[in-house]
Amino acid sequence: MRGFKFPPEWDARYPQQGQMAVGVRWPSGYITLFEDFFLQGNFRLRATEFMASILHFYGFHIYQMIPAGMVRVRHFEFLCRSQGMEPTVEKFWAFYELIRNTGFYSFGNRGAAKKILIGPPKSFHDWKMKFFFIREEVMPIAMIFRESDQIEKEELPI
């Protein structure tokens, strides 16, 4: 957390000794973020509009995303920007579908779509143990907790 050099007004905090991110209720006015979002997923604060649109469209809180999902979202955003295109949910949706894994969400390759991320990281060791709290206003978007185990199959054309 110290290495990211967050401004003091963001009040980034370590959890208490032995506290785990899963099932934790963070302090009022704060959100939980995982270290691997930054180290493996190249996530940065303030979040981009594209990240906000992904969270809004798929209807879950950033805390509910696994690092592999962050890798796919950020990689897609970088690819679009490197080609001079604005990343959008509709473009992202053409390549990825929402998947649920042990109560968290990620994105898997959409069946017939061409794979655009070759060789993603295979595992993230102890990622649930490496987290911190930060003021919620650093992500100035309304995020909701997705409660349902059901993932509706979207019927949009690819």
Contacts of residue 49, defined as CB under 8 A and 6 or more positions apart, other chains included, come to none
Pairing of strands 131-135, 30-34: antiparallel
Q: What is the pLDDT of residues 34-45, one digit of tens each?
A: 999 998 888 999
Give 92's pLDDT tier (boundaries 50, 70, 90).
very high
In the chain, DSSP finds a helix count (H) and a strand count (E) of 4, 4
CA–CA dist 59, 48 (Å, integer) = 17
Q: What is the pLDDT of residues 44-79, one digit of tens each?
A: 998 899 999 999 999 899 999 999 999 999 999 999
Closest by CA position to 96, among listed 104, 105, 85, 84: 105
- Which pLDDT does position 93 carry in this prediction? 92
- The per-residue pLDDT of the chain, averaged, comes to 84
Residue 40, φ and ψ in degrees, nearest 5: -100, -35
Rounded to 5°, the CA angle 10-6-35 comes to 100
In the chain, the N- to C-terminal Cα span, in Å, equals 39
Q: What is the pLDDT of residues 101-152, one digit of tens each?
A: 778 899 988 887 777 776 767 777 888 888 999 998 888 777 877 766 555 5
pTM for the full model? Answer: 0.83
